[in-house]
Structure 1
Amino acid sequence: MTQNDTQQKNPAQRGLQTYAGGCLCGAVRYEATVDLARVTRCNCTICMKYGYGGGTGMKPDAFRLLKGQEAIKKYGRDGSPNTRSFCRNCGVVCFGDGDVPELGGKFVSIYVNTLDDVDPSLLTFGYWDGRHDNWAAGLRSTPWPFQPTVS
């Protein structure tokens, strides 16, 4: 292994940087220009089912799909403008897109675990209360309580 193989982008160097990422099998590849100081986790049902791994959002023009449009399958809940895109070959969820007015409108969100050469253990996460559509409360430094809806 060469030194270049083990070098990672340091997320402690805050500010906009361009990162490459993709799925496990390599069929889907992307680039995103983001600030990894803004990495979040959400407790909504879809984020929880996808593993609560964390992501970061950006305006759509900061994201470029480099390869794999034909390999992408999208999933969205009925009535939601938000979708998740995963590789139909290996199943890895790489990114999502949608429109949440409380968060500034249209966005693309990448899953930080799909970034190349970024160690997620070095990132600081903020937490959204998406389970209760509580976007107006903003981010907080600890997870929101998991309070199942009582019927």
Structure 2
Amino acid sequence: MLRTYSGSCHCGAIRFEADLDISAGTGKCNCSICTKMRLWSARARPKAFRLIAGEEELTDFQGRNPVAHHLFCKRCGIHPFERIDMPNMTGSPYYNINVACLHAVDINELIAAPVTYYDGLNDNWGARPAEVRHL
């Protein structure tokens, strides 16, 4: 069920809202940056994401994938969301929302939601990595 969630970085400088259906599934990727920050995400279309405060506090890291904008708070270093400008498999741009940054998310809803695993390490986005227990 689609629900509007509010979220923030740790210090609260970055605040956002996103319309998400957690029960439809979440995602985890094995690329180097997602693995190092243990990103667990839910996908939102651009129209379903609203940055409420802190645009000036965001810094953008782009690794070897120039269409993935890994956005971090300059103050506390938390990664509340990322913007993917060019579609990987979806046919349109999207946001990956860090579910750990959502306020009032029901942990049981997260546990019950299916998880899709992405093999970003090998740029094989449609495949499940051979090993996912560490994600």
Gaps of at least 5 residues in structure 2 are: none
Root-mean-square deviation over aligned CA pairs: 1.9
Return closer, same or farther for 1:33/1:67 CA change in 2, 3 Å cut-off. same
Counterpart of 2:9, as a letter, is C
Matching residue's letter, 1:43: N
- State the one-letter code of the partner of 1:23: C
1:132 aligned onto 2:132: no
Residues 49-105 of structure 1 show CA distances to partners (whole Å, capped at 9, x for unaligned) of 112x30011211110000001111111114521111111001100000112242222
Of 126, 130, 135, 1:145 maps to 130
Among 34, 57, 61, which residue is 1:71 paired with?
Answer: 57
Output the CA distance in 2 between the equivalents of 1:36 and 1:29.
19
- Deviations 1:4-57, CA, capped at 9 Å, x for gaps: xxxxxxxxxxx1100000011110000000110221111111101112x30011
Cα pair 1:85 1:93 within 8 Å, conserved: yes
Post-superposition offset of 1:134: 1.6
Quote the residue 1:85 is aligned against: 71
Contact 1:103 / 1:135 at 8 angstroms: preserved in 2?
A: no
TM-score (structure 1 length as normaliser): 0.76
Give the distance between the partners of 1:27 and 1:131, measured in 2 at CA.
31
How many pairs align? 127
Compare CA radii of gyration and give the structure with the larger one.
1
CA contact (8 A) 1:112 1:120 kept: no
**Aligned pair in 2 of structure 1 residues 129, 101: CA closer, same or farther (>3 Å)?**
closer
Task: Please say if residues 16 and 34 of structure 1, whose CA atoms lie closer than 8 Å, have aligned partners that are also in contact.
Answer: yes
Corresponding residue of 2:29: 42
User: Counterpart of 1:145 in 2: which secondary structure?
Assistant: coil
Q: Which position in structure 1 is the counterpart of 2:82? A: 96
Distance 1:130 1:66, change over 3 A: same
Length-normalised TM-score, structure 2 = 0.84
Q: Percent identity?
A: 36
- Structure 1: give runs of 5+ residues left out of the alignment: 1-14, 147-151
